[in-house]
Chains A and B, each alone.
Chain A
Amino acid sequence: MGILEVKNVNKRFGGLQALSDMNLSIAENTVHAIIGPNGAGKSTLLNVLVGKLIPDTGSVMFDGQSVLGRKPYEINQMGISRVFQTPEIFGDLTVLENMMIPIFAKRDGAFRMHAIESVGNERAVVQQAEHMLESLNMADQRHNHSASMSRGNKRRLEIGMCLSQEPRLLLLDEPTAGMARADTNNTIDLLKQIKEERDITIAIIEHDMHVVFSLAERITVLAQGTPLVEDTPDNIKGHPKVREAYLGESATA
């Protein structure tokens, strides 16, 4: 029984069957990659997992609880954090403030009216945030405007914000899309480090095979809204069906 169980999920958009009989089980404490050509249903699947889309049929269980019909913030409070394709951070706020907000959210829940106490007096939160920034090697930037950072650093910050909530499942949506090689490698290293240091399940949707094969322990290949194969990276590499459906072009390229 995995930490995340997707069973018989179907989702139609008009004439398009985006997900058909989708089944997926992600085991606890693994890095599970989901790959597939464009239009295979990866984004739809992700949006179902975080509560943005409600499937037509089927169930999605996280740690024995259904996530369907819950709002994104409720799903986050259950222990699922999401990293976006383009980094979503609080651009108008400083790096330190960015890091404090998820810590507040973890501590105080979805809403709390703490309108009088000063942020500066929340020593525990400030320390935790600074500690997190140090472990990301970003402590020297803590008073910078986060919008002015490089894309690689924004990504780092976003991942750090998610981690500061100690999620049980971290969802990554093409975390290295649009990144230079150096930034990509940094991100891979960061994720590897996270994997070593923490008990965490990571689900990653990615186009870049380099990233997938450096990180994943299990890989699910999607095609036309349904899982084609699920196996270890080594087996996936040689799998004829996968080559045909997906790696075909990129292997020759």
Chain B
Amino acid sequence: MLGMTRKDAMMLAIVAIVALLAPFILNPFPVDSGFAQFNAGYPDLMQRFAIFGIFAIGFNILFGLTGYLSFGHAAFLGVGSYAAIWMMKLLTTNILPGMVMGIIVAGLFALVVGFISLRRSGIYFAILTLAFAQMSYALAYSVLTPITGGETGLQLKLNDARVLDAPLAPGERADANLFGIDMTSSYDLIVGGWQFTFNAGYYIAAVVLVLAFYLSIRIFRSPFGMMLRAIKSNNTRMTYTGLNARPYALAAFVISGMYAGLAGGLMVAMDTQVGPERMFWTASGEVVLMTILGGAGTLIGPVLGAGLIKYMENIISKINSSILHEWFYWMPDGLEDFVITLIYPFVGKGWHLTLGIVFMLVVIFLPGGLVEGGQRIKRLFESKKARKTSDQTTPAE
């Protein structure tokens, strides 16, 4: 189906269905219940899931397949964002030209950075990409202020040129749209105590996510994808088999840069602004975390990782001490305070601490990420089941 095996098609279908039903799945708790803070079905967060999912899928094509660890991928996301917002300022508030331009500019930038950085491998490659990204950040922050808006960044303004758009009517704002569909427009469905929000921006991002995921399946299963895995596995054998590893790695680098540019363009489409902090190296670190946490080199891993990190970021960072007191009010006073003191450093502002610990645990014990964890659990069950059946009957094979 669509050039995929049944298994891959199933996975794509699941991703598509989850993305489609996300407003329901992510809002399992009624608005008035105490658990409403665990709901994640609001547009802003759901858009983030999709956008960072795309970013991580692209990063995984480079890191997961070829093993080249880039510590500067946020630069491509940032460049894509700047390109997109300029299209929206100069041409039209329709997000399509912006996204296309974001992909193109990020791809070209990745071509230059990749061409230079891929002359080295291993840790040198990581440091070269880091250096390029930090340079881009520093330039966006200072010298390139006329193009990037410096520290304040860029926003859509009423007096932007927008040569393709009709002039705004008085009182109208310049909103990002796709052929007239406003990104911010939402429809609220209220069922009993539940509220489900269907947001145009989210659904556009989700469609792009599913397309991006589909493309990554095709790349993974293609001869090209196999060559990329060959680079990671044994570069010596690769060259002595008559294959030139560098253009393969460069192609992977550019493709993942274009994914980042697409994510950056979408980000601008959603919040119509961009600042240089988007390119800072901790942002590059974040996409590495997402990919590893989900499972580098697996198809679904990066999407899972991106979703989980963005969910945790939103939920855990919202928990404060009064919420903790609400949760543990049933405990005896001393114990309550003790438990809260224990938990408090890990929630609210301390969410990065939780992230760091989870990340370390994953790298130490589960280098294959959540996907490997899932497989291990599955294998555990299967071997138990197999043992049971082999006790009762002779095995079929």
CA distance A118 to B219 in the complex (A): 8
- Cβ contacts under 8 Å, A108 to chain B: 223
Cβ-based interface call for B237 (8 A): yes
Cβ-based interface call for A105 (8 A): yes
Would you call B226 and A93 a contact (CB within 8 A)? yes
Tell me the smallest distance from the CB of B333 to a CB of chain A, in Å: 56
Known contacts A114-B224, A116-B218, A118-B3: does B233 contact A93 (CB below 8 Å)?
Answer: yes
How many residue pairs link A and B with beta carbons under 8 A? The number is 112
CA distance A165 to B85 in the complex (A): 50
Tell me the smallest distance from the CB of B72 to a CB of chain A, in Å: 23
CA distance A125 to B241 in the complex (A): 15
- Cβ contacts under 8 Å, A112 to chain B: 223-224
Cβ-based interface call for A225 (8 A): no
Least CB separation from B237: chain A residue = A88
Would you call A50 and B3 a contact (CB within 8 A)? no
Would you call B242 and A73 a contact (CB within 8 A)? yes
- Cβ contacts under 8 Å, A92 to chain B: 229, 232-233
- Cβ contacts under 8 Å, B234 to chain A: 88-91
Cβ-based interface call for B208 (8 A): no
CA distance A113 to B218 in the complex (A): 13
Least CB separation from B222: chain A residue = A115
B residues contacting the other copy or chain, number (CB 8 A): 30
- Cβ contacts under 8 Å, B243 to chain A: 73, 101, 105, 110-111
- Cβ contacts under 8 Å, A165 to chain B: 241-242
The interface stretch among A55-63, A74-82, A212-220 is A74-82
Cβ-based interface call for B239 (8 A): yes
Would you call A105 and B241 a contact (CB within 8 A)? yes
**Segment 37-81 of A: residues with Cβ below 8 Å from B:** 50, 71-74, 76-77, 81
CA distance A92 to B248 in the complex (A): 18
- Cβ contacts under 8 Å, A118 to chain B: 3-5, 218, 221-222
Cβ-based interface call for B142 (8 A): no
Cβ-based interface call for B258 (8 A): no
Tell me the smallest distance from the CB of A116 to a CB of chain B, in Å: 5
Would you call A90 and B239 a contact (CB within 8 A)? no
Interface string of B200-232 (1 = CB under 8 A from A): 000000000000000000110111111101101
Least CB separation from A105: chain B residue = B242
Would you call A115 and B225 a contact (CB within 8 A)? yes
Cβ-based interface call for A100 (8 A): yes
Cβ-based interface call for B236 (8 A): yes
Interface string of A99-132 (1 = CB under 8 A from B): 0111011101111111111111110010000000
Apart from A73-B244, A88-B237, A120-B221, list 13 A-B contacts with CB within 8 A. A74-B242, A89-B234, A97-B226, A97-B229, A101-B227, A101-B241, A102-B242, A104-B227, A105-B241, A105-B243, A109-B242, A110-B243, A112-B223
User: Which residues of A approach B to under 8 Å, CB–CB?
Assistant: 50, 71-74, 76-77, 81-82, 84, 88-93, 97, 100-102, 104-106, 108-122, 125, 161, 165
The 6 closest A-B pairs by CB, nearest first: A76-B242, A115-B224, A110-B244, A92-B233, A90-B233, A88-B237
User: Which residues of B approach A to under 8 Å, CB–CB?
Assistant: 3-5, 218-219, 221-227, 229-230, 232-234, 236-244, 247-248, 251, 255
23 A-B pairs in the complex with CB atoms less than 8 angstroms apart:
A50-B240, A72-B239, A76-B242, A88-B236, A88-B237, A88-B240, A90-B233, A90-B234, A92-B233, A93-B229, A100-B226, A101-B243, A104-B223, A111-B243, A111-B248, A114-B224, A115-B218, A115-B251, A117-B223, A119-B221, A119-B225, A120-B221, A161-B241
